[in-house]
Copies of this chain bind each other. A is one copy, B any other.
Amino acid sequence: MRTDASEADLTRVLEVIESQGFEPHVSRGVERTVVGVKGARERLNPDTYSGLRGVMQVVRVTAPHKLASREWKPQDSCIPVRDVQIGRGSLTFMAGPCAVEEREQLLEAARGVKAGGGQMLRGGAFKPRTSPYDFQGLGEEALKMLAEARDETGLPIVTEARSQAHVEVIERYADMIQIGARNMQNYDLLKEVGGCKTPVLLKRGISATIAELLMSAEYVLSSGNDNVVLCERGIRTFENATRFTLDVSAIPVLKEQTHLPVIIDPSHPAGRASYVPALARAGIAAGADGIIVEVHPDPSKAMCDAAQALSMETFAALVSQLKEIGAVLAKTETT
Q: Which residues of A contact B (CB under 8 A)?
A: 3-4, 16, 25, 27, 29-32, 34, 36, 38-43, 45, 47-48, 50-53, 56-57, 59, 61-62, 64-65, 71, 128-134, 136, 162-165, 182-183, 185-189, 191, 205-207, 209-212, 215, 218-219, 222-223, 235-242, 245-253, 255-256, 269-270, 272-275, 278-279, 281-287, 299-300, 302, 304-309, 317, 320-321, 324-325, 328-329, 332
B34 near A29 with CB under 8 A, answer: no
- Within 8 Å by CB of A215, from B4, B131, B281, lies B131
Copies of this chain, count: 4
B300 near A275 with CB under 8 A, answer: no
Tell me the bound Cα distance from A50 to B272 in angstroms: 8
Given the known interface contacts A25-B27, A185-B128, the answer about A321 and B328 at a Cβ–Cβ threshold of 8 Å is yes
Find the B residue at minimum CB distance from A38. B29
Could you say which residues of chain B place their CB within 8 Å of the CB of A45? 134, 304
A321 near B329 with CB under 8 A, answer: yes
Find the B residue at minimum CB distance from A253. B241
Given the known interface contacts A50-B307, A131-B64, the answer about A186 and B163 at a Cβ–Cβ threshold of 8 Å is yes
Find the B residue at minimum CB distance from A256. B274
Tell me the bound Cα distance from A185 to B131 in angstroms: 10
Question: Can you list 14 A-B pairs with a CB-CB distance of less than 8 A?
Answer: A27-B36, A30-B40, A51-B309, A53-B300, A130-B185, A182-B185, A209-B239, A209-B240, A235-B239, A237-B237, A249-B270, A253-B275, A282-B283, A321-B329
Could you say which residues of chain B place their CB within 8 Å of the CB of A186? 163, 182-183, 186
Given the known interface contacts A43-B133, A57-B61, A165-B188, the answer about A274 and B252 at a Cβ–Cβ threshold of 8 Å is yes
A300 near B250 with CB under 8 A, answer: no
CB of A134, distance to nearest CB on chain B (Å):
7
B241 near A235 with CB under 8 A, answer: no
